[in-house]
Chains A and B, each alone.
Chain A
Amino acid sequence: MKYLPHRILFYAGILIVWQLVFMAGVWPSNVFPSPYEVVEDIAYGITDGGLFYGIATSMWRLLVGLGIAITGGVILGVLMARVEVVNQTVGSLVLGLQSIPSIAWVPLAILWYGLSDAGIIFVVAIGAIFAVTINTYTGVKNIDPHYIEAARNMGARGMQLVFGVLLPAAFPYMIAGFKQGWAFAWRGVIGAELLFAFLGLGHLLYAARSLTDVSYVIAIMLVIMGIGLAVDGIVFKRVEHKVMSRWGLR
C-alpha cells in the first residue's frame, strides 16, 4: 500500500472542500448538507436498525437472484460452448438480451409478478445471467484442448468431464463473469427497489427522496458505494488472485 497516505489525503481533501462549500452557505443546508449531517444520518440508520434491515433485504434478494443467474448462466454457457447448434440459436439471443439494461425489465417484472420479492429477484437474475453466460462460454471455448483429451483418455465421460475438467478449467473466466454478474445484480437490485418501492436499500433511497431528506439520500448512496467496494475489493479480488496464481496465469 505505497499510496495509502495519498489516498487518505485525497479523501480528507474531499471532506474539507465539502465542509468549506457547506460553510460558505451557497445553498441552503436542506439542499446541500454538511458531511457531519450525513455521518449522523448513517449513525442514526445504524442505531435505528433501519439501515441494516434495508441492507439485509437488498442482499437477500441479490443473493437469490445472483444464485439463479450463476446457475443458469453456467449451464447456458457450457451448452453454448459445447453444442454448436445451441450457440447458433440461443447464443445469438443471449447477445441481444445482454444489451437490455436490467432496469428495463422492471415494467415486465411488475406486470408478471406484481410488487413482490419475486419481481425484484427476476430483475436481478435476468440482469446478471448473460454476463455469466458469456464469460462461461468464453472460458470453456478457451480451454486447452489437451486438458479435455487427457481427461477423456483417462476415462472421463459426460458429467465427469463437465465437473472434473470443463468447469475448473474455465473457472478463471467464470470468476470474471461472476464479478460482472455481481456488479449488474447490485445495480439491478437497487434500481428495481427504487421503482418497486418495496423495502430494501433502493426503497430507503426512494423514501428519503419523498421526505426531501437530502443528507439521508447521500448517506444511503454512500452505503451502496461502500458495499459495492467491499464485495469487489475483498471477496472478488481475493478469489481472483488465488485462482489466477494457482492456474498459473500470473
Chain B
Amino acid sequence: MKLEAHNITKNFNSDSHNLQALGGVDLQVEAGDFVCLVGPSGCGKSTFLRIVAGLESPDGGQILFDGRPVTETGPERIMVFQEGALFPWLTVQDNVEFGLKMAGVPREQRSKIAKRYLDMMQLSKFAGYYTYQLSTGMKQRVAIARALVLDPDVLLMDEPFAALDEQTRNLLLVEMQLVWEKTKKTILFVTHNVEEAAVLGTKIAVFGSRPSVIKKEIANNLPRPRAGGDESLVPLKNMITAALRDPGVQN
C-alpha cells in the first residue's frame, strides 16, 4: 500500500468571494504509517482528508493510491466522521455490518467478522443497542469498528475525538494505539489537538492556514503506549506548536 498526494489544490468559490483552501499539498504515506494531520480549525485539513477519501475532487493535483489516481470513493479508504455518522435506524451490530452487507458478504460470515471488531472495541454487550442509547464515546467506538470490518487499506479519521470529554478521549487515545498495533492499519488522522497528534502519530504533518500546505513533517518514534500527560512528549509537543505558529515556514 502506498498513498501519495501530489500538489493538491482546492478552491471554494461563491458569488461573493473565492477562497483557496488548499494551496498545493504534498504527502507520502507508507503502509503502516499513523500520520496525524495537525492544523488550526478551518485550515483545509478535513477537506484534504475528504479528497483522499474520494468524497470531493481536487481542483488541481492528484491522489495516487498504489500508483493509480483516486477518482471515486470506496471501501479501501474508509472515513470515520467527526460525528460518527452512524445510522440511527440500525442496531450497533447492523451498523458495524453495513459495509459487509453492501459488499454481499453472507450473513453468517458478516456476524463473525463483526464480532471480532465489536470485541476489539469492547462493544459486545451493546450489539443490540440503537445509537440513541449510546454515549458519544461509545458511538465513536462503533464508528471505528464499522470502518475496521471492511479491512480498509487506509483508515481516514476526521477529528473523531473532538466532541469527547477529556476522560473518554484519553481512554480512546490509548485504545486507538492498541487498535493500530493489532491491525497494522495505515491511518490518516486529522486533528487540531497537538497532544492527540503527539500521542498517536508516527509522523505529524503540520498544516498552515489558507491557502494551506504542509509546513513541516515531524517523525515521531517515541515508545508506546503513550499517554497525554507523558513528560517524554513535551519536546515534541513544543516542536509541533512552534511549527504551527511559525509564519516563516509558510511558502
Contacts and interface: CB of A to CB of B under 8 A. Distances in A.
A151 interface: yes
A153 B53 contact: yes
Interface stretch (B31-39, B84-92, B217-225): B84-92
B79 interface: yes
Interface in A138-175: 144, 146-147, 149-157, 160, 164-165, 168-169, 171
A169 to B, nearest CB: 7
B99 A154 contact: yes
B7 to A, nearest CB: 24
B75 A155 contact: yes
A244 to B, nearest CB: 10
B83 A154 contact: no
B87 A155 contact: no
Contacts of B207: none
B132 A155 contact: no
A5 to B, nearest CB: 34
A156 B102 contact: yes
A154 B102 contact: yes
Contact of B87 (A147, A152, A153, A245): A147
Contacts of B242: none
B214 interface: no
Contacts of A169: 87, 89
Contact of B74 (A155, A160, A246): A155
Interface string B67-81: 000000111011101
A28 interface: no
Given A146-B81, A155-B75, A246 B88 contact: yes
Contact of B102 (A146, A160, A245): A160
Interface string A219-234: 0000000000000000
B130 interface: yes
A247 B79 contact: no
Interface in A147-206: 147, 149-157, 160, 164-165, 168-169, 171
B98 interface: yes
B55 interface: yes
Contacts of B78: 153-154
Given A168-B89, A246-B132, A248-B88, A150 B79 contact: yes
Interface string A238-250: 0000000111100
B102 A153 contact: no
Contacts of A153: 53-55, 73-75, 77-79
Contacts of B99: 154-155
Given A149-B79, A150-B81, A246-B130, A155 B88 contact: no
Contacts of A247: 88-89, 132
13 contacts: A153-B53, A153-B55, A153-B75, A153-B77, A155-B75, A155-B102, A155-B103, A157-B102, A164-B98, A168-B90, A246-B88, A246-B89, A246-B132
Interface of B: 53-55, 73-75, 77-79, 81, 83, 85, 87-90, 98-99, 101-103, 130-132, 146, 150
Interface of A: 144, 146-147, 149-157, 160, 164-165, 168-169, 171, 245-248
